[in-house]
Amino acid sequence: MTNAELVLEAKKARQRAYTPYSKHSVGAALVTKDGKIYHGCNIENAAYGPTNCAERTAFFRAVYEGEREFAKIAIVGGMEGTDGNEPCAPCGVCRQVMMEFCNPKTFQIIMAVDKKTYKIMTLEELHEKLSFLYNENVETHISFYATTPTTSLCLFNIENQFLDELKKMFIEEIKEVTDNQSPNFTLEN
């Protein structure tokens, strides 16, 4: 399956999201090492803690089915009424789940705007980017892997700030790609 096809699978999953509070729906398509696809969407709850992200929904479905080895995940998201035109990076809790089951050097995270415009990073590369943002913006370094559902609520605003920074960097790279200057970004025809 091509990355573009996987992004379309994530878009299908996004249609099942339950987001009555944020109105921001996310879809994920997770690929196992042997090519099986597991879909996930975000599922909100009035109490923030029980809310589940699309990425974890996909992982938990796969693990329930006996899967333990994964190759990549595509993530799409956006506000209700849009086609999912915002790049989405996994939150700290989702990255922790990925670390549990994936090789950070090889596991690919595809953060997509659409099937033609997306950024691919390994889990390790994303960790390095976010660690840089944490170190640059917070006096006390917050461990990338220490975010848990309990601490996630406390770090929610801080985490969103860093994901916003990542989104800005992502958008800047989109601009570079249109000028054919960035080899790390993929535009498929």
- Among the listed residues 44, 55, 69, 125, the single catalytic one is 55
Question: Would you call 100 a catalytic residue per the annotation?
Answer: no
CA triple 95-31-44, angle to 5 deg: 50
Decide: 30 and 37 in contact? Cβ < 8 Å.
Answer: yes
* Local structure of 144: helix, strand or coil: coil
User: Are residues 106 and 122 in contact, defined by beta-carbon separation less than 8 angstroms?
Assistant: yes
Beta strands 185-187 and 70-79, pairing class: unpaired
- Contact in structure between 88 and 77 (CB atoms under 8 Å): yes
Give 183: exposed, middle or buried? Use CB within 10 Å, 0-12, 13-18, 19+. Answer: exposed
Quickly list DSSP for 35-68: S-EEEEE-B--SSSTT-B-HHHHHHHHHHHTT--
Catalytic residues: 55
